[in-house]
Structure 1
Amino acid sequence: MKYCFLTFLLASLCHMSNAQRVFGLIFHQGRGEPMAQADVVFISESGKEFRTGTDKDGNFFFKKLRKGLYNVKVSGFAIADTILSGIAVNGDTSLTINYNVYCQYDRSAKNKNCPLCGREDSVVRIRYGLIGVRVPKEGHHNSGSQNQKEPDYFPGGCLITTCDPNWYCRRDGLQF
């Protein structure tokens, strides 16, 4: 029994010596402030995931990570995921991760020419959120479909992120 306890104690100490602490800050460069309540996932080379979140000041903390290389994924509400590759953990590690926002749709915010056909006559703005529609009173609706006009928008859905398309080309079925 004494040997079992000593073996267990020795194994626990060896395991604890391999455990590293990782702490850091996620900083949102676009807003110029720390990112509160973001999800931080360290993914080991074997694919095992270790998750935590940032506090209101953008700080995160992992107690027990093994030495090695990790991919780090940062995500949060209404932001695009960012993945950093090859983050080395060798002993206690402090990180500052600058979340830099790049959106492929920023270039098209004011340009409504379709990138495929080059025209803008079939291009409409994409609207996000809950879209209200007027319903005619009973007895006042049009029976002919020729009087019904196609809306001047395309419904984009309720989920809004920091990188959403601005325009929709009806001719090509393309969001840009």
Structure 2
Amino acid sequence: MKEKILLYFLLISFSCFSQTGKLTGKLILKDPENYKKVLENTYIILKTSIKTDSIKVDSDLRFVFEDVKAEKKIKIFISPRNYPINICYMMDLKENEVENVEIPYTSTCPYSKDRNNVCPICSKNDEVLPIIYGLSAGISYKDKDGNPTDKNGKIISKEENEKVKSISGGCIVSDCQPTWFCQRDKLNF
């Protein structure tokens, strides 16, 4: 009889401490022409406070993690990374909860390095400026009388001297960032 009572309490204690949930999801592919590549190469990485696990997406780009420890700040990553920004998804999972997530995913950088400076919206380049990344400094030239000049010493108007020739993209340089900015359409491309 004592053994049955002890076994009963052990089973209850295990069921009380098995605070797990289930995480299911699907990648919403933004570049469907790369479906095959994504299917062959993409993993979802789940990180909790006690373990890190990964799973390959299935043919419908779905994934399932069973018996995930119920806790706050569970992290989900995608490998290869998401473009244009590598995103870490964070979520809270409660005991016995089934959480379903849909994650927008782009497998390639949308900013082509070989694209010319023609805006894809207005199809013009007269208001297009290059985007400069990293630490940059503006240089202005003047002649001995203080008149603004170009880099060859030719005197230019004050308006021409004050005209914006590029915009700063910031100090952080990544492998996926726009190289042009259209002032007319306020578009990075």
Q: TM-score, normalised by structure 1?
A: 0.50
Per-residue deviation, residues 148-168 of structure 1 (Å, max 9, x unmatched): xxxxxxxxxxxxxxx68xxxx
**Structure 2 CA distance for partners of 1:107 and 1:92, relative to 1, 3 Å:** same
With over 3 angstroms needed to count, the CA separation of the structure-2 counterparts of 1:41 and 1:14, relative to structure 1, is same
Query: Partners of 1:107 and 1:57 in 2: how far apart?
Result: 28
Q: CA deviation at 1:32?
A: 6.6
Query: 1:6-25 deviations in whole A, cap 9, x for unaligned?
Result: 23211221133x21111111
Q: 1:85 to 1:25 in 2, by over 3 A?
A: closer
Q: Can you give the 5+ residue segments of structure 1 that lack an aligned partner in the other structure?
A: 117-162, 165-176
**Other-structure match for 1:127:** none
Structure richer in strand, relative to its length: 1
**Residues 36-76 of structure 1: CA deviation (Å, up to 9, x unaligned):** 352111112x3631222211111111111122221211114
User: How far, CA to CA, are the matches of 2:108 and 2:50 in structure 1?
Assistant: 27
- Give per-residue Cα distances to partners, 1:93-144, cap 9 Å, x unaligned: 011111135638x342146xxx79xxxxxxxxxxxxxxxxxxxxxxxxxxxx
Corresponding residue SS for 1:108: coil
How large is the RMSD of aligned CA atoms in angstroms?
A: 3.6
Contact 1:82 1:99 in 2 (8 A): no
1:109 pairs with 106, 114, 119, which one? 114
On the 8 A contact 1:43/1:70 being kept in 2, the answer is yes
Matched, 1:13 2:15: yes
Percent identity, aligned pairs only?
Answer: 14
Asked if the contact 1:70–1:86 (Cα under 8 Å) also holds between the matched residues in 2, the reply is yes
Deviation for aligned residue 1:2: 2.6
Alignment of 1:21-40 (within 5 A): 21-31=22-32, 35-37=38-40, 38-40=42-44
Deviation at 1:79, TM superposition (A): 7.4
In 1, the alpha carbon distance for the partners of 2:108 and 2:39 equals 19
Return the alpha-carbon distance in structure 1 between the equivalents of residues 87 and 50 of structure 2: 14
Paired residues in the alignment total 115
